[in-house]
Chain A
Amino acid sequence: MQDFKTKLYNYEADPPAEMWQNIHNELNTTKGKVVSMRGLNRRPKIIFYGITAAASIIIIFLISIIFSKSEKHQFENDAASLTKTERQLLNSKKIQDSITLNNKILEGIINSKKDKNLISEIYENSFNKIKKYITIEGPEGQPVKISPKVATLIESADNEFPPKPVWNKKIEKWKQIMLISTLSPTSTNLMDIVQSSSSNDTDDE
C-alpha cells in the first residue's frame, strides 16, 4: 500500500486534448514576436537620447561658465588697463551722473505734490541704472564704497542745490546722533566723510 504522500506526489491526470496545440501556437507566437526585439532595440535608443540630452546640458553649463569667466576676465583686464587718472575720471563721471539723477529726483520731489516714492521710482526707471556702488577717495586716500544716492549729500556741502538748510539740518541731526552713539567713527565711515566735508564748508564761510 502506497502512502498518501507518494500517491499525491505521483498523481497524474490527462490534460485536455487540445492543450498541446495551444502550447504549440503560443510558442510559435512568441517566436514571431519581434516586438521584444524591438523593445530591446528601442532601449538603447532611449539611453542614447538620454545621454545626448545630459551631454548637451553639461556642454551648455560649461560654455556658460567659460563665457562668464572670460567676460569677468575681460572686465578685469579693462579695469587694469585704465590708468589712475582715467579711473578717477570715470569715478567722478559716475559721481556726477549719480548727483544729476539725485538732483532730478529731489527737484521733482520739491516742486511736486505727488507721492515722493512714486516720483523717485519714475526717475530711477527712466534713467539708466548706474552701478550699485561708487568708489570715492577717503580722507587718507583709501577707497570708500558708497551708494550713488549719497553722493548728493557730499556734493550738497559745496553746491547751492539742493537747498543747504534742508541738508544741513539733517546732517546736524545725524552728527548729534553719532556723537551720542557709543560707536567711534572711522575714516571709512560715511558720516566721517560727511562731517569732514561739512566742517570744510564751515571753515570756508
Chain B
Amino acid sequence: MELSNHIPSEIDLIKGCIEGNSKMQELLYKKFSSKMYGVCLRYSGNVDDANDLLQEGFIKVFKNLNKFRGEGSFEGWIRRIFVNTSIEHFRRKIKLYNVSEVQENTIEDTDLTALDNMAEKDIIALVNELSPGYKTVFNMHVIEGYSHKEIADILGITEGTSKSQLARAKGVLKKSLEKVINKIS
C-alpha cells in the first residue's frame, strides 16, 4: 500500500485513526513505533516480550485515541500507555516486598556518569541485567521521571520500598559499570 507523500498533522492523524482509517493508523504507527519499541525493550529486556508489548500497546493506543483530550503532548500520552502496558505485563514478575524505611547507601547519579560515555545499546544491556523489580523502578524514576509516590501507587508498594529498590538498582548498576571499565582498562 503506497502512502501519499503528504504528511498529515498530528490532529489529522488522530482524527483519521479514530475514524478507523487504516492509512492514518499506519502513519501513526510509523511515526512512533521506533521510540515506543525502545521503551518496550527497556522494560522487557528481550525482543520477544518487547514485540508483544509493542503490539499490545498500539492496540490500546488505537482503541483509546478518543480519550486523548489534547492536554500535554501526544507523544507523552502514547509513551504513558506503553509504560503502563509494560508495567502491567511484568507485574507478575515484579515481586517487590514492602520494607520498612531503611537507610540505604545513597548512590548519587554522579556515580553513574560513566554511563554517559557509553553507547545507548550498551547502557540498555546494563540496565537489562537488573532484576525486573530494580529495572522497573529505575526506569520509572530515573528515565521516565515518576516520583516515588507515583511509583508506589502504580506498583502497589510503599514509597520506602520504591526508594530502597532504586538505591539497590543504582548499586548494582555501579558495580556492573565498574566491571565494564576494568575490562576496558
Contact = CB atoms under 8 A, between A and B. Distances in A.
Interface string B39-66: 1011000000001001100110011000
B59 A26 contact: yes
B116 A1 contact: yes
Given A8-B42, A16-B51, A24 B22 contact: yes
Interface string A9-39: 1111111100110111011001100000000
A169 interface: no
B37 A15 contact: yes
Interface in B94-141: 112-113, 115-118, 120, 123-124, 127, 139
A5 interface: yes
Given A5-B143, A16-B51, A31-B20, A11 B120 contact: yes
Majority DSSP secondary structure for residues of A touching B: helix
Contacts of B120: 7-8, 11
A56 to B, nearest CB: 41
B123 A4 contact: yes
Interface residues of B, number: 35
B116 A15 contact: no
Given A1-B116, A13-B41, A19-B33, A8 B26 contact: no
A9 B55 contact: no
A18 to B, nearest CB: 10
Contacts of A16: 51
B35 A10 contact: yes
A20 to B, nearest CB: 5
B62 A4 contact: no
